[in-house]
Amino acid sequence: MKYLANVATLTLNKDKCTGCGNCAEVCPHAVLEIQDKKAFITDPDRCMECGACQTNCPFEAVGVDKGVGCAAALINSMIYGGEPSCDCSAPQEGKAKSCC
Amino acid sequence: MTTIPLKLKSEAGLLKLNEPAPIWTTGSVATPAGPVYKALTSLSPQDCREHFRCRISAYRDNFIVEPGIYAVGSPDENSEVFASANYKYSFDLLRQSLDGLNGWILVLDTKGINVWCAAGKGSFGTVELIKKISDCKLASIVSHRRIIVPQLGAPGICSYLVTKKTGFKVYYGPVYAKNIPAYLEADRKASPEMRTVQFTIKDRLILTPMEIIPAMKNYPLFALIILLSFGLQPSGIIFRDAFYGGFHFLVLGMLAVVSGAFITPLLLPAIPFRSFAIKGWLAGISTVFAYHKIFAPSIFTSLPLSVVAYIFFPAASSYIALQFTGSTTFTGMSGVKKELKYGIPAYMTAVVISLILLSAYKLMEWRLL
Ligand code: SF4
Ligand code: SF4
């Protein structure tokens, strides 16, 4: 299953990449692979922008605009302001409810 | 290796003798850092009941495990350490999959949120992991310097920073806890299958109750508007008219929820197009069409009402289907933003047109138009 085409913000700077393999290890959709000692983006449409690759790259070679792919979170942040987050709740009574 | 600060007061998760032990523990294990609860590796009927309640309601609140360190089996200083969230569901899956193994579970304080969501928010994160490694004196409990972190926690954990600060090297475990024995067998190597998330029909089916229930929350308001608008006559509100006129709309409203919150998630890969809004709209328009053809209800003899039925209910189904992006394992933020950019104006237009047509229908009924 793939989501919308050509929207993912994933970028890779091959000059900075050392081929350490961290990004390929953490990606839950096998978007990144190591080929010829460098990271390689197999299919950007599979990227869900979770940010795992970016957080675990020691050389700042991968970049992604990390965020939650959740309509409710984005609508809440449009209405109430603030960062969209996986809270499943409007900031009522200052109490965050657990979700998921 | 950095030194771990020693604290004298009772540490989080180490056994608190004056409190009753959680029912999912069985005694304790002595460690150089003090006694530690030993967690059972099978679920009790109560655990299973809690899991079920958690799938169908907002009982998810306070479904937590006290953060800290726990033992599984008869671990020693060479046993592996597994990091977990303090959402009890996540913790239960982990302890279950460690059945027959000896190990330690380091529970981070994620405020009762699962690994994946907490990693996105950062509460299952580098700082918290470093803090727990130090607070629980992990370095005195085990002699090795390895910690196995669930792969879905990776968005929150900067592995090289953890190593730099604590000396512990992060090993990303498989996506699914059930693969842990195979992962350990393969010397902490996860196969490509263990590294990728799935989203099977069963996974999707389990998620549907929590799509249907929130969608139904708006149903009473919808029903009220429908009954009022059909019942409203120059002489007042006529209940017979409200019911006979509104009945099919009430059914269609229910069908929109079913098509957006149940049919679309279930048939997700089979419905054409990648956009959830379009998938939901297609499912919605198909249900309206089926209802029209099979039951041929009276509303379809009126032009304004049938236009309302074909505009409003597919849009509602589409909106509800779009909410499912929050439960999937593959939708990214940029994609959802794009859907909302086109979707929200479209939904608003659908609502406005429906209201105008409904008013026009009433005016015609009252022979004012
Ligand atoms: S983690 Fe960074 S440096 Fe390592 S392979 Fe990936 S992109 Fe290259
Ligand atoms: S953001 Fe997540 S899904 Fe996208 S490439 Fe990085 S690890 Fe993979």
Cα separation, B295 vs B63, in Å, equals 45
DSSP string, B280-321: HHHHHHHHHHHHHHHH--GGGGSHHHHHHHHHHHHHHHHHHH
Instruction: Please give the pLDDT value at position B149.
Output: 97
- Residue B14 confidence class, pLDDT cut points 50, 70, 90: low
- Residue B58 confidence class, pLDDT cut points 50, 70, 90: low
Cα separation, B366 vs B233, in Å, equals 8
In this prediction the ipTM stands at 0.86
Contacts of B192 in chain A (CB under 8 A): 30
Under DSSP, is residue B268 helix (H, G, I), strand (E, B) or coil?
A: helix
Facing A4 at nearest CB: one of B195, B196, B274: B274
pLDDT averaged over chain B? 89
Query: Would the CB atoms of A28 and B196 count as touching at under 8 Å?
Result: yes
**Domains along chain A with CATH numbers:** 11-64 (3.30.70.20), 67-100 (no CATH)
Torsion of CA A34, A40, A45, A48, to 10 degrees: 60
Mean pLDDT calculated for residue range B33-39: 92
pLDDT tops 80 at residue B41: yes
Q: Where are the beta strands (DSSP E) in chain B?
A: 25-29, 36-39, 68-72, 80-84, 103-107, 146-150, 169-173, 232-233, 236-237
Residues of B (206-265) whose Cβ lies below 8 Å from A: none
Facing A98 at nearest CB: one of B61, B120, B269: B61
Pick from B252, B204, B245, B201: nearest CA to B227: B245
Q: Give the residue on B whose Cα is nearest the Cα of A31.
A: B196
**How far away is chain B from the Cα of A40, in angstroms, using its nearest Cα?**
16
How many residues in total does chain A contain?
100
Q: Report the percent of chain B where pLDDT is more than 70.
A: 93
At B39, list the tokens: 């967690």
Pick from B261, B327, B324: nearest CA to B116: B327
Query: Would the CB atoms of A4 and B275 count as touching at under 8 Å?
Result: yes
pLDDT tops 70 at residue A98: no
pLDDT averaged over chain A? 84
Pick from B145, B140, B150: nearest CA to B166: B145
Pick from A11, A9, A55: nearest CA to B335: A9
Contacts of A77 in chain B (CB under 8 A): none
pLDDT tops 70 at residue B224: yes
pLDDT tops 50 at residue B4: no
Looking up tokens 């996105």, which residue turns up?
B120
Instruction: Give me the numbers of helices (H) and strands (E) for chain A, helices first please.
Output: 3, 4
Query: Would the CB atoms of A71 and B340 count as touching at under 8 Å?
Result: yes
- A54 Cα nearest atom in ligand 2: 6
Q: For B260-277, what is each residue's pLDDT tens digit? A: 999 999 999 999 999 999
Instruction: Please give the pLDDT value at position B10.
Output: 46
Q: DSSP state, B241?
A: H
- Residue B129 confidence class, pLDDT cut points 50, 70, 90: very high
pLDDT tops 60 at residue A93: no
- Residue A94 confidence class, pLDDT cut points 50, 70, 90: very low
CB B175 within 8 A of CB B150: yes
CB-based contact (8 Å) between B155 and chain A? Answer: yes
First to last CA, chain B: 84
Pick from B220, B249, B267, B356: nearest CA to B310: B249
pLDDT tops 70 at residue B1: no
At B263, list the tokens: 């049919």
Instruction: Please give the pLDDT value at position A1.
Output: 83
Pick from B352, B325, B346: nearest CA to B260: B325
- Residue B18 confidence class, pLDDT cut points 50, 70, 90: low
- For the domain made up of B3-195, give the CATH fold: Rossmann fold (3.40.50)
Mean pLDDT calculated for residue range B153-157: 95
Instruction: Please give the pLDDT value at position B60.
Output: 55
Q: Report the percent of chain A where pLDDT is more than 70.
A: 85
Query: Would the CB atoms of B323 and A96 count as touching at under 8 Å?
Result: no
CB-based contact (8 Å) between B123 and chain A? Answer: no
Contacts of A27 in chain B (CB under 8 A): 195
Cα separation, B126 vs A27, in Å, equals 17
Instruction: Please give the pLDDT value at position B156.
Output: 95
Phi, psi of B128 (to 5 degrees): -65, -40
Mean pLDDT calculated for residue range B219-231: 89
Instruction: Please give the pLDDT value at position B318.
Output: 97
pLDDT tops 50 at residue B81: yes
- Residue A96 confidence class, pLDDT cut points 50, 70, 90: very low
Instruction: Please give the pLDDT value at position B295.
Output: 85
- Residue B142 confidence class, pLDDT cut points 50, 70, 90: very high
Contacts of B156 in chain A (CB under 8 A): 55
Q: Report the percent of chain B where pLDDT is more than 90.
A: 66
Instruction: Please give the pLDDT value at position B5.
Output: 41
At B238, list the tokens: 């006529």
Pick from B162, B142, B17, B163: nearest CA to B80: B142
CB-based contact (8 Å) between B100 and chain A? Answer: no
**How far away is chain A from the Cα of B253, in angstroms, using its nearest Cα?**
20
Contacts of B336 in chain A (CB under 8 A): 69-71, 74
Query: Would the CB atoms of A98 and B269 count as touching at under 8 Å?
Result: no
- Residue B117 confidence class, pLDDT cut points 50, 70, 90: confident
How far CA B269 is from CA of B11, B112, B266, B273, B353, in Å, comes to 48, 31, 8, 9, 31
Diameter of chain B measured on Cα atoms: 88
Q: For B93-113, what is each residue's pLDDT tens digit? A: 999 999 999 999 999 999 888
Instruction: Please give the pLDDT value at position B257.
Output: 96
A24 CA → ligand 1 middle, Å: 8
Facing A29 at nearest CB: one of B120, B196, B327: B196
Instruction: Give the residue range(s) of CATH 3.40.50.11600 domains in chain B.
Output: 3-195
CB A49 within 8 A of CB A67: yes
**How far away is chain A from the Cα of B14, in angstroms, using its nearest Cα?**
25
Q: DSSP state, B152?
A: G
Instruction: Please give the pLDDT value at position B346.
Output: 97
Q: For A39-72, what is each residue's pLDDT tens digit? A: 999 999 999 999 999 999 999 999 999 988 888 8
Facing B338 at nearest CB: one of A4, A46, A86: A4
- Asked which of A7-21, B228-242, B341-355 is least confident by mean pLDDT, the reply is B228-242
Q: For B208-221, what is each residue's pLDDT tens digit? A: 988 999 899 999 99
Phi, psi of B74 (to 5 degrees): -120, 75
- Residue A92 confidence class, pLDDT cut points 50, 70, 90: very low
Cα separation, A11 vs A83, in Å, equals 22
CB-based contact (8 Å) between B112 and chain A? Answer: yes
- Residue B9 confidence class, pLDDT cut points 50, 70, 90: very low
Instruction: Please give the pLDDT value at position A99.
Output: 45
At A87, list the tokens: 């809270």
Residues 6+ apart with CB under 8 A from B60: A97, A98, A99, B54, B112
